[in-house]
């Protein structure tokens, strides 16, 4: 792009909602591209780079989950915010399992929506990985934060931007119990009590990548009433 405005791709088939979202994002100074289907979204992602993708789950052709999975194959790092139906908890879990970084339940509050967007776009210097080229070892895993890659028992994986942020935080504060609010604020750019499931589901994802037994975690430990602790053992 010719300027430094963050470029957002909005995938939403409900026109009146899409118009409102575009208007508000542009008011905030973002550059927005809007498409109405997952197929069009994938065509865009193949030829352009986006700073954030806002993805509705219910779309006319392939659904948002499938779009998310395919986006991850094309561009593993871009943050993905999913828009899900109100009452379906499974939708949120599925979205996060398919590689989304956060979700918002429709209908959402505009202020909350803009807060999420700005949080996910925020690039502050301190969470950036330390220049450790040789990789970070724990268990059978080796993580390369600078190149967004990891070697695990399951093979090599590409990491998303939010996964790298979270791993950076854990590695920098190894052995410490990190409060939920701190993790949310550092990784997602906001802290709120209302959306704690996002964090838990994200931890589930990391455990699936890195733990020999995800149901009995040794590296990414739950600290009851506080948050999570990373330990190399």
Q: How far is the CB of 221 from Ca ion (least distance, A)?
A: 38
Which residue, judged by CB position, is nearest to Ca ion in the bound state?
Answer: 58
Which position among 22, 31, 58, 93 is part of the footprint of Ca ion (CB under 5 A)? Answer: 58
159 with 187: CB under 8 angstroms? no
Q: Which is nearer to Ca ion, 58 or 218 (CB)?
A: 58
Binding mask 37-56 for Ca ion (x = CB under 5 A): -------------------x
Q: Which residues lie closer than 8 Å to 206 by C-beta, 6 or more apart?
A: 163, 166, 167, 220
Report, in Å, the least distance between residue 38 CB and Ca ion: 10
Phi-psi region of 148 (alpha: psi -120 to 50; beta: other; left: phi over 0): left
Dist. CA 170–CA 38, nearest whole Å: 34
17 forms part of the interface with Ca ion (CB under 5 A): no
Q: Is 13 in the site for Ca ion (CB under 5 A)?
A: yes
- Tell me if 95 sits within 8 A of 105, measured CB to CB: no
Nearer to Ca ion, 103 or 210 (CB): 103
d(CA 15, CA 131): 45
**Footprint on this chain of Ca ion (rule: CB under 5 A):** 13, 56, 58
């Amino acid at each position: 792009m010719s300027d430094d405005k963050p470029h957002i791709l909005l995938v939403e088939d409900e026109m009146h909602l899409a118009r409102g979202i575009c208007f508000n994002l542009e008011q905030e100074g973002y550059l927005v591209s809007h498409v109405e289907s997952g197929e069009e979204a994938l065509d865009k992602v193949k030829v352009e780079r986006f700073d954030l993708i806002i993805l509705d789950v219910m779309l006319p052709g392939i659904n948002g989950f499938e779009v998310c999975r395919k986006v991850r194959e094309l561009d593993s790092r871009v943050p993905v915010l999913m828009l899900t139906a109100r009452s379906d908890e499974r939708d949120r879990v599925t979205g996060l399992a398919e590689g989304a970084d956060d979700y918002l339940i429709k209908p959402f509050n505009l202020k909350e929506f803009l807060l999420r967007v700005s949080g996910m776009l925020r690039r502050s210097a301190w969470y950036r990985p330390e220049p450790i080229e040789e990789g970070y070892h724990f268990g059978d895993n080796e993580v390369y934060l600078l190149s967004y890659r990891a070697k695990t028992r399951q093979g090599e994986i590409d990491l998303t931007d939010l996964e790298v942020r979270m791993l950076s935080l854990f590695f920098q504060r190894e052995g410490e119990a990190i409060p939920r609010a701190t993790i949310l604020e550092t990784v997602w750019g906001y802290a709120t009590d209302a959306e704690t499931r996002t964090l838990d589901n994200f931890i589930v994802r990391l455990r699936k990548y890195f733990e020999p037994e995800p149901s009995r975690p040794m590296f990414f430990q739950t600290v009851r009433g506080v948050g999570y602790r990373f330990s190399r053992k």
